[in-house]
A = this chain, B = another copy of it.
Amino acid sequence: MAELSPGFTLIDGQPQTQLSVRDRGLAYGDGLFETLRVANGFIPLLEQHLARLHRGAARLGIEYDAAQLAEELARLAVQLGSGILKLILTRGDGQRGYALPQPQQPRRIVQVAALPAYPASHAEQGIRLYPCATRLGQQPLLAGLKHLNRLEQVLARAEWNDPAFAEGLVCNQQGEPVECTVSNLFLRLEGEWVTPALDQCGVQGVMRDYLCMQLAAAGQSVSVRPVTQAELLASREVFCCNSVFGVWPVIGLGNHQWSIGPYTRQAQALAQQVML
């Protein structure tokens, strides 16, 4: 089986790297995406990725062939062995104007990338968060979805270049911590884990959902609710997580410091179990 190189792209199943300028993904960000980690020819949490895609497509009214997509991803994962598959699902081409094309011909794009070369120290010794000034807009209709309207993340990520910050903390319009630019946040507060609610803004990460389940199964209480800045600073342990890097302990935000505790190491081990 030929190895796939970074940059290899399938558009609707055909190898190509160009697409129609009429695609509504370009015109309006009218679509969704998923970033899929591939290990040993397998995509961890694939069911959860596909479920989130399905929720997003239902919300946006994008009709697509879910079975065909799942089959293609599984086949590419075997060919790739190890790396990243980035999936973009758009509503396909449109004419001028916001009205939905009739019929819709959604377009699926799968791009191959290498696994990011994160320093091992991020997982082992923890990371510092840059305190982003960019705040997430309040939009319950799109909250939780991994859609293509990502200017807020672009603005937040553009705030820092210093590699001393591996991630950035992003708050909502009220200044309450919601997530990081590419990962979700967990806080250890008074005997339980808390992760910010994502019903007004933010992306509902599949690793977050997986950890909520697995931590609960391991006897840890996990609350999903709004979180204040004071609670974040008062928390005993903090970590961020996504399906590509797993769990990174958070050891700093501005002048504030945390140490890495046993509960974070437990979460990290649970993440590792599903990433192999």
Contact = CB atoms under 8 A, between A and B. Distances in A.
A151 B149 contact: yes
Interface string A105-141: 0000101010010000000000000000011111101
17 contacts: A18-B18, A18-B19, A21-B111, A25-B26, A26-B90, A27-B88, A28-B149, A28-B151, A29-B148, A95-B113, A96-B111, A99-B158, A135-B141, A137-B139, A149-B149, A149-B150, A149-B151
B141 A29 contact: no
A98 to B, nearest CB: 4
Interface string A42-56: 000000000000000
Contact of A26 (B16, B26, B61, B158): B26
A150 B182 contact: no
Contacts of A158: 61, 98-100
A23 to B, nearest CB: 7
Contact of A147 (B95, B116, B134, B151): B151
- Secondary structure at the A interface, as helix, strand, loop or mixed, is mixed
A20 interface: yes
A158 B28 CA distance: 13
Nearest to A25: B26
Contacts of A272: none
A157 interface: yes
Interface string A202-235: 0000000000000000000000000000000000
B21 A9 contact: yes
A142 interface: yes
A18 to B, nearest CB: 4
B141 A138 contact: no
Contacts of A147: 151
A180 B265 CA distance: 51
A61 B153 CA distance: 14
A66 interface: no
A17 interface: yes
A96 B84 contact: yes
Contacts of A86: 96
A152 interface: yes
B138 A137 contact: yes
A181 interface: yes
